[in-house]
Amino acid sequence: MTKLNTNQWLALVLALVAAAYIAMAWQIPTFPLPRPVDSDLFPKVLGFSLLILSVFLFFEKPTPLAGADEVDHDAQQGPLLLTPWARVIVTSLAIAAYALLLVPLGFVLASTLLCTGLTAYYGYRRHAVNLATSLGVVLALYLTMTRVMDVYLPTGVLPF
């Protein structure tokens, strides 16, 4: 069996997504009163368009990938936690944790922790400057949003 190229892999994934989408579009309930166009028509058109486009993509010759070749290969040799992909994964986990802790901890504390922690993790070693800048920016944003713009942000464990 011949090996599939990147476009063909992507096309297969997209075709599966399109098929699932079309199946879901068929589940959309019809409106009780008869109408020339119901809620399901547009999604069905979109699903079939995606399916047809994935067929085109399957037969399209892949061009060199724009971003993939720019990945920092030197860093792959370093400690596992500092490899480029590990940085993306750790950052994603940090964002997810931030989202879950934002309300209980409050905006100021959660944001300062996220900002200071990630900056240090990315390799910035001047910790005092890091903490001062993160806290300063977060506080400035917090005060502008809550006091000037009247936008509510969670206070959490802090009294203000």
Residues 26-85 that bind other proteins (CB under 8 A): 28-29, 31, 35-39, 41-43, 46, 49-50, 53-54, 56-57, 60, 63, 65-68, 70-72, 74-75, 78, 82, 84-85
CA distance 20 to 64: 30
Helices (H), 3-157: 6-27, 41-59, 84-105, 107-121, 127-143
Which among 3, 14, 2 is positioned nearest to 57, based on CA atoms?
Answer: 14
Q: How many residues bind other proteins (CB under 8 A)?
A: 73
With binding defined as CB under 8 A, does residue 4 bind other proteins?
Answer: no
- Count of CA atoms in the C-beta half-sphere (13 A) of 112: 19
Smaller CB separation from other proteins, 3 or 88: 88
Please select the residue that binds other proteins; options are 4, 16, 24, 158, rule is CB under 8 A: 24
Binding mask 88-127 for other proteins (x = CB under 8 A): x--xx--xx-xxx-xx---x---x--xxx-xxxxxxx---
CA distance 98 to 112: 10
Rounded least distance, CB 13 to other proteins, Å: 10
Q: How buried is residue 111: exposed, middle or buried, by Cβ count under 10 Å (0-12/13-18/19+)?
A: buried
Please select the residue that binds other proteins; options are 87, 135, 143, 156, rule is CB under 8 A: 87
